[in-house]
Structure 1
Amino acid sequence: MRNFRRLSIVVGSRVNDSTPTYRANVRENATTAEQLERATAASRVGGGPKAIERHTRQSGKLFVRDRLRLLLDPTSPFLELSPLAGIDLPYGNVPSGGVVAGIGKISGRLCVVMANDATVKGGSVFPITLKKQLRAQDIAMRNRLPLVTLVDSGGAFLPLQAEIFPDREHGGRVFYNQAIMSSMRIPVIAVVCGSCTAGAAYIPTMSQEAIMVKGLGSLYLGGPPLVKAATGEDISVEELGGADLHCRVSGCTDHYAENEEDALETTKNIISTIGHEVTGWDEEEIDSEYSPLWDPTEMRGLVPPSNDHRFPMLDIIGRLVDKSRFQPFKEKFGRELIAGSAWLYGRTVGLLANDGPLTEQAAYKGAHFIQICENKKLPMIFLQNTGHEEKFSDAAEAARTIAARSHMMRRVATATVPKITIVIGDGIGSANFAMCGQTARPNFLYLWPNARIGLCDLQSQNTDVISDKDDARRGAAFSAFHSSSRVYDDGVILPETTRKILHLSLTAALQNQSHC
């Protein structure tokens, strides 16, 4: 039993839910939550009812989310990553980026799972598909979690091959990462439950173990039509690259499955031989003694829909941490940054939260506290609201602030403990870097629906040369939905679900930390 009183301060307070401001915030944030719910629901239906019908009825395959349902432990949470990927891109909509990715339990072990959705453009790999795959692999490597890939892909979308093939962070990086994961002793498993054409053929062959489904799985660089065009030979899919060929003759795959259910059961058996079962992933395993004193759903009324207003940071922290208790650090110094220790589902964490630009004092305070967390091996949680870029009184003040922020950036970049960032308001300018933005490689980064991301905010730009149309377009480009559709983050989350998401992310990040 934790002695919560050892953390001296109860932060936050009861809210008056009858005030006009509170009610207005609830209404506005409910509208944004509905927008998020609609976008998430749209991503879950893949290529739409007709495409799913062709995939399941005509091809005899399982829909991607049914595959995940059979693979993952029942009733256990699945932390889906970047579900809004692929919305409103220059080359069209690619729901969920054409691949479902996330973290869940398989046979009691935490794993990163990514599964092609062949109902989206026939499983073709678009630039956004590749980006999401690489991010899933990065999360597996950073957190040392086994990677399971359910492959059903027609390979690269050739009209966009210039954005998929040539660069170091393009298609070949997937195979490079698989080799690096194997060298790090991170298990890499592939299930061939559909087409593995062209570059996709290397995913199972670069995996440590591969399962292939009879009659559905196929693995080759070029299919029967290409063979016919090149040699004039007629050959079937099974003869060219089916499960019998690769399990009995070529040896490219290691396990023969009669159907998809058999393949997924084999995968679970393989995972059961790896590592140890995770505890604490399911919320029912966590004692209710850790609940905050204040209701997290009240954050909908506390968070202003416009980031032009100040955020009640201590009220927000009080609805995220155990028993709403918090031990502040340098409480009276650099007050633009709140820093201190708290518990999250029984784990001690360092917490940094800014409400506005980082001043010189705030940045030095942050650098100092990050060093303490690193020395104590405390995982860090960043709550980021940078506000608008401030105006400096003179060049000397600007220079001192830049130097202080640089010091904090160095501490963030070199910290080896797990780091999780939530952008709850604005993530603008250099303060975004110092508060562990994506360039600082946090283990996970999420946005609230009202969040905005950018190098500089709209108010600081030269409005004389920006038309109303440009202003609307630039405003949309700052939004959380724009960011998440391009996989600049790991997902848009609601304020009231943040505590649970932090728990799942922290559990994943700490699961195999002792082996790093």
Structure 2
Amino acid sequence: MSTILRSRLDPRSEDYARNVRDFDAKRRVVAEARASAIAGGDARSRQRHAERGKLTARQRVAGLLDPGTPFQEIGQLAGHSVYEQPVPSAALVAGIGVVAGRPAMIVANDATVKGGTYFPLTVRKHLRAQDIARENGLPSIYLVDSGGVFLPMQQDLFPDEHHLGRIFRNIAEMSALGLPQIAAVMGSCTAGGAYIPAMCDETVIVRGTGTVFLGGPQLVRAATGEVVDAETLGGADLHSRVTGVADHIAENDEHALALVRDIAARTAGAPVPAPPAVPRPPLHDPAELAGVVSAGLREHIPAREILARLLDGSEFTEYRSRFGPTMVCGTGHIGGYPVGVLINDGVLFSESAQKATNFIELCAQRDIPLVFLHNINGFMVGAEYEAGGITKHGAKLVNAVSCAAVPKFSVVVGASYGAGNFAMCGRSMGPWQMAMWPSAKSTVVGAEQTATVMALIRSDQLAKEGRTLSPEEEEAIRKPIIDAYEEQAQPLYYAARLWVDAIIDPGQTREWLTLCLATAAGAPRRQTSFGVFRM
């Protein structure tokens, strides 16, 4: 039987006000990075782009979407402060949007950023977008405007299994699965990148600005001595009239987007399914979630206070409420879509892991999507707990998380450390999408614990030599570790490296999850088969 979650939070309290102040500071850091990502290249690059009669990548995406429909962006903060030079959004805009009434994955090169060239994170972001499209059974639309790979980093772009060539392999495989692959060449499409339009099911090219060639004019001249201009070598007339690489000519960007919308309207794909239940707002305001998160994550974050602001009607049917209480499991609805929710309410014990494993089995059997809300320092350690089989029971949970074939979504709302991250469907466990709150943290172990461990190891080494570790030596060990871990634990550090797909505001978590669930509702269903559970 479902129960109504009632909040005990007092928005007038000093604790609430302190939490909001602390959260606002973290929110501002993310907002500054987001503004830089949205702006794209520098002012001069944007001006040159406009002078060529071209829309920006984000304008192209906006022009492609059905009016009034959302765009769920993937990897918006990728590349932030990663390279020596700015590469906002990894020179690529990607996300899920509705085109001609159907959800689609849209990937648009940003030519205002280094000519739209592919850095290592650009490749990873493109591949991530394709993975999401494949899992959700979505068509893919590529708005191409790229100078190819960033040649000084070719060793990180070309030779490996998950480098540039994987993009083309994915296009072929997804087309074979019946997932439409559509391209619009709206600028340069050079070298290996030429295979994107050449391998897609249907391709549009813009007259005067769109070009496709394996080797550009400079490379042709260097290799053969032939002098040829870009339009003659690979322009719209050649590829629509002679080679057949392009199926349609567009007169400008707007015309190209209209043609793509027409192609999307007459290809396979179903509209977003309506939610099976009537969506209802929670009884408690989701905007209050910023006041639930304790400053610096040093205080307990009450799990049910979060659920009361995420679930429709704040209704929750809890599973085994009295057993393994540090893991809260249960079912409810978000945006009208059914969900099985797992949220941490303390450290993981054997009982918590067993309960979560059983709950995941039930959701997989009943085809209920799973939402993991991380706030976990890890599994309980110590001789008593090892003797009680906590490693074995934790492994069962990791097995269940790995193999459950229902849609899985993760949000790090607090901490997410070590094996606890794996058990809560961290990135390596294959969530369909994953996000963090601006106040969240994640590393293999907490900074203080790591620093203490390293200091103890050094102290033990010195003890064997008859020496002791001085306070100054201990601080010299601890401080660099704590500083590095604190930097690497931040959401912006994660998002910049595509370890999560987005940083989302707590108040927008319901909307983000609703978009995830709505998209997944039309995905092909797969049968779950678990690995062997050690008893």
Q: Which TM-score applies when normalising by structure 2?
A: 0.91
CA distance in 1, matches of 2:232, 2:129: 33
CA distance in 2, matches of 1:238, 1:90: 33
Is the 1:192–1:210 contact (alpha carbons within 8 Å) kept by the matching residues of 2? yes
Greater Rg, structure 1 or structure 2? Answer: 2
> 1:60 Cα deviation (Å)?
2.2
Match of 1:458 in 2: 447
| Pick aligned residue for 1:448 from 437, 453, 464 | 437
Structure 1: state its 5+ residue gaps: 1-6
- Of residues 7-16 and 320-329 in structure 1, the stretch that sits farther from structure 2 once superposed is 7-16
Number of residue pairs the alignment of both structures matches: 504
Q: Determine if the alignment matches structure 1 residue 92 to structure 2 residue 82.
A: no
Is the 1:389–1:457 contact (alpha carbons within 8 Å) kept by the matching residues of 2? no
Is the 1:12–1:319 contact (alpha carbons within 8 Å) kept by the matching residues of 2? no
Match of 1:484 in 2: 495
Match of 2:357 in 1: 367
> 1:16 Cα deviation (Å)?
1.4
| Pick aligned residue for 2:330 from 340, 343, 347 | 340
- Of residues 486-495 and 445-454 in structure 1, the stretch that sits farther from structure 2 once superposed is 445-454
| Residue identity (%) | 39
CA distance in 1, matches of 2:481, 2:359: 41
Match of 1:106 in 2: 99
Is the 2:427–2:499 contact (alpha carbons within 8 Å) kept by the matching residues of 1? yes
| Pick aligned residue for 1:472 from 472, 483, 489 | 483
SS in structure 2 of the partner of residue 194 of structure 1:
strand
> 1:225 Cα deviation (Å)?
1.8
SS in structure 2 of the partner of residue 306 of structure 1:
helix
- Of residues 466-475 and 175-184 in structure 1, the stretch that sits farther from structure 2 once superposed is 466-475
SS in structure 2 of the partner of residue 417 of structure 1:
coil
| Pick aligned residue for 2:509 from 498, 506, 514 | 498
> 1:184 Cα deviation (Å)?
1.0
Aligned pairs (5 A) from 1:143-154: 143-154=136-147
Match of 1:35 in 2: 29
Q: Determine if the alignment matches structure 1 residue 178 to structure 2 residue 171.
A: yes
SS in structure 2 of the partner of residue 155 of structure 1:
coil
| Pick aligned residue for 1:302 from 292, 306, 313 | 292
SS in structure 2 of the partner of residue 367 of structure 1:
helix
CA distance in 1, matches of 2:292, 2:338: 25
CA distance in 1, matches of 2:97, 2:83: 32
Match of 1:163 in 2: 156
Match of 1:190 in 2: 183
CA distance in 1, matches of 2:385, 2:438: 36
- Of residues 32-41 and 411-420 in structure 1, the stretch that sits farther from structure 2 once superposed is 32-41
> 1:73 Cα deviation (Å)?
0.9
CA distance in 2, matches of 1:26, 1:210: 49
Aligned pairs (5 A) from 1:173-322: 173-274=166-267, 275-280=269-274, 290-322=280-312
Question: What whole-Å deviation, never above 9, does each CA across 1:248-293 have from its counterpart, x for those lacking one?
Answer: 1111121111111111101000111132332559xxx995x61110
CA distance in 2, matches of 1:396, 1:476: 32
Aligned pairs (5 A) from 1:63-102: 63-102=56-95
SS in structure 1 of the partner of residue 502 of structure 2:
coil
Q: What code does the residue aligned with 2:302 have?
A: P
> 1:387 Cα deviation (Å)?
2.2
Q: Determine if the alignment matches structure 1 residue 508 to structure 2 residue 502.
A: no
Is the 2:364–2:404 contact (alpha carbons within 8 Å) kept by the matching residues of 1? yes
| Pick aligned residue for 1:19 from 9, 13, 19 | 13
SS in structure 1 of the partner of residue 296 of structure 2:
coil
Question: What whole-Å deviation, never above 9, does each CA across 1:101-159 have from its counterpart, x for those lacking one?
Answer: 11111011100101000111111100010010000000000111111011111111111
Aligned pair in 2 of structure 1 residues 504, 419: CA closer, same or farther (>3 Å)? same
> 1:395 Cα deviation (Å)?
6.8
Q: What code does the residue aligned with 2:151 have?
A: L
Structure 2: state its 5+ residue gaps: 456-475, 528-535
Is the 1:355–1:387 contact (alpha carbons within 8 Å) kept by the matching residues of 2? no
| Pick aligned residue for 1:391 from 357, 381, 399 | 381
CA distance in 1, matches of 2:393, 2:282: 34
CA distance in 2, matches of 1:308, 1:406: 28
CA distance in 1, matches of 2:259, 2:83: 40
Q: What code does the residue aligned with 2:19 have?
A: N
> 1:388 Cα deviation (Å)?
5.5
- Of residues 12-21 and 23-32 in structure 1, the stretch that sits farther from structure 2 once superposed is 12-21
Is the 2:377–2:418 contact (alpha carbons within 8 Å) kept by the matching residues of 1? no
Match of 1:130 in 2: 123
CA distance in 1, matches of 2:450, 2:270: 53
Is the 2:2–2:316 contact (alpha carbons within 8 Å) kept by the matching residues of 1? yes
Q: Which TM-score applies when normalising by structure 1?
A: 0.94
Match of 1:3 in 2: none
Q: What code does the residue aligned with 2:145 have?
A: D
Is the 2:100–2:265 contact (alpha carbons within 8 Å) kept by the matching residues of 1? yes
Q: CA RMSD of the aligned region, Å?
A: 1.8
CA distance in 2, matches of 1:247, 1:357: 62
Aligned pair in 2 of structure 1 residues 10, 76: CA closer, same or farther (>3 Å)? same
Match of 2:469 in 1: none
> 1:492 Cα deviation (Å)?
0.4
Match of 1:4 in 2: none
Question: What whole-Å deviation, never above 9, does each CA across 1:51-100 have from its counterpart, x for those lacking one?
Answer: 1011111x221111111111111111111111110011144331001100
CA distance in 2, matches of 1:451, 1:49: 33
Aligned pair in 2 of structure 1 residues 136, 233: CA closer, same or farther (>3 Å)? same
Is the 2:277–2:337 contact (alpha carbons within 8 Å) kept by the matching residues of 1? no
> 1:474 Cα deviation (Å)?
2.2
> 1:473 Cα deviation (Å)?
2.4
Is the 1:307–1:387 contact (alpha carbons within 8 Å) kept by the matching residues of 2? no
CA distance in 2, matches of 1:311, 1:467: 27
Aligned pair in 2 of structure 1 residues 490, 79: CA closer, same or farther (>3 Å)? same
SS in structure 1 of the partner of residue 371 of structure 2:
strand
CA distance in 2, matches of 1:512, 1:467: 48
> 1:14 Cα deviation (Å)?
5.0
| Pick aligned residue for 2:392 from 380, 403, 419 | 403
CA distance in 1, matches of 2:2, 2:245: 60
CA distance in 2, matches of 1:466, 1:475: 15
Is the 2:282–2:311 contact (alpha carbons within 8 Å) kept by the matching residues of 1? yes
Question: What whole-Å deviation, never above 9, does each CA across 1:296-351 have from its counterpart, x for those lacking one?
Answer: 01111111132222111101001000100100001001111000111112222111
Is the 1:12–1:316 contact (alpha carbons within 8 Å) kept by the matching residues of 2? no
> 1:386 Cα deviation (Å)?
0.9
| Pick aligned residue for 1:379 from 362, 366, 369 | 369
- Of residues 28-37 and 139-148 in structure 1, the stretch that sits farther from structure 2 once superposed is 28-37
Aligned pair in 2 of structure 1 residues 105, 180: CA closer, same or farther (>3 Å)? same
Match of 1:413 in 2: 402
Q: What code does the residue aligned with 2:16 have?
A: Y
Is the 2:103–2:138 contact (alpha carbons within 8 Å) kept by the matching residues of 1? yes
